[in-house]
A = this chain, B = another copy of it.
Amino acid sequence: MSDIEQYMTDVGRQARTAARAMSRANTAAKDGALNAIAYAIEAQQAALLEANSKDMEAGKAGGLDAALLDRLELNEARIAAMAEGLRQIVALPDPVGEINDMSYRPSGIQVGKMRVPLGVVGIIYESRPNVTADAAGLALKSGNAAILRGGSEALHSNQAIARCVHAGLEQAGLPAEAVQVIETADRAAVGRLITMPEYVDVIIPRGGKGLIERISAEARVPVIKHLHGVCHVYIDDEADLEKAIQIAFNAKTHRYGVCNAMETLLVAEGIAEQVLPELSGMYLEKGVELRGCETTCRLVPAAEPASEEDWDTEYLAPILSIRVVKDVDEAIDHIAAHSSNHTESIVTENYTKARRFLREVDSSSVMVNASTRFADGFEYGLGAEIGISTDKFHVRGPVGLEGLTSQKYVVLGEGQIRQ
């Protein structure tokens, strides 16, 4: 076993021990730790900025592009937001120990389910150092231990945040090993982290599709995957035109580089002539490049013809593909063929078509008359989110505290035996 493998094995063993303590920790202790971490982050602002400036200098020297540098940067507002995020997690109800569905069975036993932590959560992420605080907060509140592996470019920042986390845990009487930040940039650390099921119960990778696919292929531990978002809005011929235009404009242009932005607009042919010219004008004015099907190109002269590849592309940019479809059936078929099962929305006033879309579209979020941009843990009331699952297994959509838990059966009896 190499030094790195030995180091990761030790990290894993300590996490497993800490997880047992965390699973028993009461709500007051966990909330106390989160408040203490928030306080430490505010109190250590100067130290955090100093550590971050080292990362920023190295990043500039190493030629990181402007977008990466922006994600890497900490400033007073971002530090305050980290502390505020932790306090929001304090305000969420503790999911651990929650008992549901207790009912009596004919045998006389009473059966229900109790929510329990998953155990040890491994989180692999890229440049944003605030993920260190967010992920630690969610893992702790849900009674888990966490092993955090941030981007090598953020090593100093992440270690400075880790010191705040450890101070808070110790102050609350919880084991510091409940959150471990990997102190090496060696890529072999990830290789070991994702292949030790004896110490790690789930891996959550946050980053590009390539990273997530590579980790999923190599992991021997369950992975909560957040692949990509090829999200659709379908404007039905019975849509309220004003709602349709507002939603389609917002879903594309509110932010471009996010997974819940619309990438393809589907429009019923019966309403295309009424909708597309006005809406296209708004997009073009905003600088959005349009790629359309034949009908679209006829109605919108500024649109370029879309290629087959366009229908499967997550642009993350001011580009939109537009297709005119016959009806809701053709829209649902197009989505089944091209969507990444992230988020789709129908705009319609027709009850039956709304109901069918909700039932038949197989995506982690399915919406009626709302912008796809709402697919988000905060907007759904989960508090912070640790990612958005495009899987079906275990958890779909925004992953908050509940996604980091499982349920065991509890059985209460008074001496019952099987007959």
Partner of A393, one of B222, B251, B412, B413: B222
Chain B residue contacts of A111, Cβ below 8 A: 379-381
Chain B residue contacts of A119, Cβ below 8 A: 392
A397 at the interface (CB under 8 A from B): yes
User: Could you tell me which residues of chain A, from 378 to 419, have a CB within 8 Å of some CB in chain B?
Assistant: 379-381, 392-394, 396-398, 406-418
Chain B residue contacts of A345, Cβ below 8 A: 411
User: Could you tell me which residues of chain A, from 92 to 118, have a CB within 8 Å of some CB in chain B?
Assistant: 97, 103, 105, 107, 109, 111, 114, 116, 118
A362 at the interface (CB under 8 A from B): yes
In the complex the two chains form, is A379's CB within 8 Å of B107's CB?
Answer: yes
A201 at the interface (CB under 8 A from B): yes
Per DSSP, chain A at the interface is mixed
Number of chain A residues close to chain B: CB under 8 A: 67
In the complex the two chains form, is A116's CB within 8 Å of B362's CB?
Answer: yes
A48 at the interface (CB under 8 A from B): no
In the complex the two chains form, is B24's CB within 8 Å of A369's CB?
Answer: no
A83 at the interface (CB under 8 A from B): no
A358→B112 CA distance, assembly (Å) = 12
In the complex the two chains form, is A408's CB within 8 Å of B396's CB?
Answer: yes
Task: Assess A109 versus B201: contact at CB under 8 Å? Given A368-B413, A369-B415.
Answer: no
In the complex the two chains form, is A247's CB within 8 Å of B409's CB?
Answer: no
Partner of A250, one of B24, B247, B367, B418: B418
A163 at the interface (CB under 8 A from B): no
A355→B381 CA distance, assembly (Å) = 30
Instruction: Give 17 new A-B contacts, CB below 8 A, not counting A109-B379, A111-B379, A254-B418.
Output: A23-B360, A246-B417, A247-B415, A362-B408, A364-B408, A369-B414, A370-B411, A370-B412, A370-B417, A371-B413, A373-B417, A374-B411, A374-B413, A374-B416, A375-B411, A393-B394, A396-B408
Interface residues in chain A, defined as those with a beta carbon under 8 Å from any beta carbon in chain B: 20, 23-24, 97, 103, 105, 107, 109, 111, 114, 116, 118-119, 201-202, 217, 220, 222, 240, 242-243, 246-247, 249-251, 254, 336, 345, 358-360, 362-371, 373-375, 379-381, 392-394, 396-398, 406-418
